[in-house]
Structure 1
Amino acid sequence: MTDLNLNLEQLNQKLHNLENRLNSLEQSRELEKHPNPIKNGVQITGALEIPEVQKLSLSTQKLVEIYQDVPQLLTSYAIEVTLTADSYRGNTNGEIFLERSGNTNYWIIAQDNCNYWLLPKKNLKINIHKLKSLKSLFRFSEQPLENITEFTLIKPALVSLLPNGQQWKLERLGILFLSNGSQSAQLQSALELTNQERERLQTSLEEFNQNYQKSQSQIEQLTQQISQLQQQFFQLTAQKEQELLSLLKTKFEIFQQQIQQTEEERRELLTEFKQLYEEHQQMQLDIKQLILPEVKQVENNLKQETNENLDISETIIQPEEPKYPNDLSNNLREIAQNLTIPADTSAASVSNSASWESVKLLQTLIGHTEAVQALAISSDNQILISASFDKLIKLWKLNTGKEIGRLTGYSRFNCIAISQNQQMLVAGSDENSITIWNLFTTQKTTFTGHSDWIRSIAISPDSQTLVSGSRDNTIKIWNLQTGEFLRTLSGHTGAVLALAISPDGQTFASGSADHSIKIWNLHTGQLFYTLNRHSSQILSLAISPDGQTLASGSSDNTIKLWNLNTGELQNTLVGHSGRIWSVAISPNGQTLASGSEDKTIKLWKLTTGEPLCTLTEHSKEVYEVAFSSSDSNLSSSDVGLILVSGSRDHTIKIWKSV
C-alpha cells in the first residue's frame, strides 16, 4: 500500500511538471521566446490546392481590344488579384508579387501558351494611392496627378505563376495611357480608326496571298502541262514541231507576264502595308498632341479659299416654276417688297375667339427634298420661312402658299429666325457659323465663334440682340445690328438645343442635352436658376406672351409648364408616345401646340393642360410648329388663327382653327 501511494505521488508530480512545461511553452510562443522559434511560419489547415484556371486562345492585341470594347466578356476568365502587403511596402528587394484577394484592383488572364497577363480592372477609379501600385506594375507618361481621371490600356503586364499556385511574380511592366476624359476619348477614337484601317489592309493582304498562292498553283499546273507537252513534242513529227514550239512560247510568255504583274502588285501592296504600319506607329506616338485643332483650321482655310474662288455660299436656284431673278440682291429686294413695317402685335391685339378644339388643314406645301427642320413667320404674317436638311431656306407667301424665294449654302440648316422689325433673317447651320441676311439692304454677314454645330437661335423683341446655342455646350450673345460679339455663357454640360427670350427682352431660357433648363439675364449673362425635373434632353422651349409661363418639350415624351418668375413646376402634360421636338404658344396665350416624334401634333389648353385635339396628317416626325399672330392677311374665308408645321416627310402644312 505504501509503494502504491508513492507511485501515485510520483505520477502526480510528473503531471504537474508537464502542465508547467506546457504553460511555459504557451507563454514563450506568445512572447516569441520559444527555444526553437520558426520565423515567418504559417499555419496550414488542409492540403495545398492549385485551382484550375480557364485559359483563352487569343493574341495579346485581341485581348487588349476586347478589354477596351467589351470587358465583361473577360470576367469569367479573370483571376482577381492584388499586391501582397510586402510588395506594396517595398520589402521584396525590388521584386513585385501579387496574390488572390476578394477586394482587388487587378485581373490576371491566362493564355493557351501559358502566359499570364495582368490588367487593371476596367472600373478601377484612379486616386493617389492607386497610382503608387500602378507605377510598380505599368509604365506611363508623367502628368499632373489632379488631371488624371481615366486610363487606356496599351499593353498588359506579364506575370508568372509561382509553384504555390496562389501567387504571381511580375516579369515585365505593362503600358498605360493616363488622361482626362476628352484626351482618352480622342485617343480611343484615333486608335479605333487606325485599327480598322490596319484590319482592312490585313484582309486585303490575306486575299492577295490567297490569289498569289492560287497563281503559284496555276504555274505548277502550267509547268506540268509544259512537261507533258514537251514529252508529246518529241513524239510529234517534224511538221508539227515548229507549231508546238510557237504555241508553247506564246503561253509561257503570257504566264510569265502574269507572274511579273502579280509580283509587282504584291510588292506594291507590301509597301503600302509597311507605310500604313509606320504611320500607325507614328500616330500612337503623336496622339497626345491632339491634332484636331489643326485639322479644323485647315478646313476653315479651305472653305475660305473656296468662298473666294467660287463664291457659291449662297445662290438663287432657278427652277422652271417659279422663276427667280438671276441676282441674289434682286431676289432679296423682291422678298423685302412683300414685307411691311410691322404693326403692334402684342397679345392684347390678338383675337381670343380661336379655341383650337376643331382644326382644318388649309394646304400642304411641297418643295423641300429633305426634312423640314425649322420654321419662322414674319411679324406682319405675310411671309413663311422654312429651313431644311436639303441645305435650302425657302420663303413662301403665307396666304397663298406660293414660293417667292430661296437661299442655299454648303451645309444643312438647323434653326432660323426673323427679327421683329423684319429686317434680319438669321440661320444656324452645321458649319459652326451663323448667317444673317439683311432683307432691306441685301447684305449678308457671318458670325463665327462657336466650335461646333449651331443648334438654336433666338432674337430679342427689340431686334437688337441675337442669342445662339451650339453643340459645343456654350451660349453666345451678339449685337445683331452691329455684329459685335458681347459674351459667352458657360454652364451647360451638353449641347444647347433650345432657346427662348421673354417678351420684355429681359430674360431668356436655354434647354440642353444635359437634361436641364437654365434661366439667364439677357443683358448681363447672370444665371438666375436651373430647372432639373426632366429625365432626358430638352429639345424645345416657348414663353407665353405675358411672360409668366415657360413650356419645355423633352426626349422623355413629356411637356412641362413652369412659372418663369419663380421656377415652380406648374403642370406636366402627358400624351405623346415619342420625343417632343417642338412647342409653341398661341399669341393670345391660351393654346399650346406640340410636335412629336410620334408623327402627331397635339393642341392643349395652356392654363389647365387639357388636351384639345390631335392632328395626324403628317406621315413622319413633326420637327417644328409655329403660330401666326393674326390672320388678317389670309383670305376672308379663313377666319381664325393659323398654325404651321414642318416634318421629316419633307412637307409643310398650314392649319386653322374652326
Structure 2
Amino acid sequence: MKYLSLEIEDLVEIYNYAPQVLLKNATKVSLTEDSLKKLSHNLVTLTAAKNGNYWLIEAQENNYWLFPKENIKIDAFKLETVKYLFQCHDYNSTSSNLITLIKPAKVSLMSNKIEWKLEELGEIKFVNSIPLGDSKLQIEAANQEIIQLQLQLEELIKERNKFQNDLKIVNENFDCRIQSEIQKQNQLIKLMGTYLHSNFHELKTQLTEIKQVLNVENRIMAPTSQTQNTNSHKDENEEVYHGLPHIHWLKEYNRNPASFEQYATQVIITKESIHNRRLGSNQSIFLENTRKGFFWVITDDDTIPTGKLLVPSANLKINEYKLETVQFLFELTGNISDNISDIYIKFTITKPAIVTSVEQGKYQLIETGVINFE
C-alpha cells in the first residue's frame, strides 16, 4: 500500500468532494468473521476484501485511516454494523441517504500483518438524497470536476518539475538579477527592523497605557474641552488597533498574507493543549513547529517587547470544524453565521495574537488576538 503524504483534513475534504481520487491509494476491507459474529466494541478487526464496504488509506507511514467506500448504501440493518466503526448522525430510515464524512476511523496494523484493529471511532453525518434528475446532473458535474482536478494535478506536477529544473539552473548560474532581488528583500527586512527597534520604547509605553485603560471597569466621559484636545491628536493615534499601536504591515497582511510566508515559522496547537481546552481547562496554550501549520509566528524578535506575533497562515480556511481551534487563539468579532457547515468564512485580522518562545520549536500563548468576520 502506497501511503499519501497528506494531512487528515485534506483527506476528508477530498473524500467528500471527489472520493474517486483516493481510490487508487485505497485497500478495500471489511469486518472479519469474528467481529461480525461477536459485534462487540471491545475488539473490532478488519481484513482485506475484494468487495469490502470500506477503504483503508495509509496517510503517512504506519498511520492508517478508515473511510466508507464511495456511494455506500446504508439501510437500517447495515447501520447497526456501521455503528461499530463510525458515530452516525441524522440517519433517516424513511428515505435514501447520502453521507458526509466528518472524521475517518483510526485503525492500526496488527502483528499478523493481514488484519487491522479499530483504535478510534470515525464520524459521519447523513443528509437527504437529492432528486434523481438533479443527482444525475451533479454526478456529471462531479465527473467533470474530477477530470479538471486530474488535469490540474498533472499541471502541478509539470510545474513542480519545471520549478526543480529552474532552481537547479539558478543554483548553477546565479545572475545579477537574482542578487538584486535578494538585496531588495534584505533591505526591506533591515528597514523594518530599524523602524521597529527605534520605536521599541514608545511602543512599550503605549501598550502599557492602553492595557491600563482597558482594565478600568467604569470609564469616565472626558469634558468637551478635553474631547476637542483629543481630536486634535487623532492623526497621531489613528492606527491604534485593539491595544497594538501602529502596526504598518497589518493592512498589507490582510490584503496579501502569502507575501509574509518567507518571514514566518509555521506552527500548530499541540494536541495536549486542544485536549485540555475541550475538557474545560484554563491551562496555558502551547504551539509547536510543523511543516504545514495553520498559523504563522512572525520571526521579527523586536516586533513587541513581550514576545512574537501570531497570525493565521495564508492557506487557513475557517469552517465549522476549524472554528474551535481558531477560538483558542483569537477573539471572534463581526458577522458570525449560526450555520457555517461547509462554507469557508472570510475574515481579516484586527489584532495578532502574542506568543513567547519557551524552548526550541515551541511557543506559549501570552495574549489572544482578534479576528473580524466579514
Shorter-chain TM-score category?
A: 0.3 to 0.5
From the CA coordinates, give the structure whose radius of gyration is larger.
1
The higher-RCO structure (CA 8 Å, 6+ apart) is 2
Structure (1 or 2) with the greater helix fraction: 2
* TM-score, scaled to structure 2: 0.40
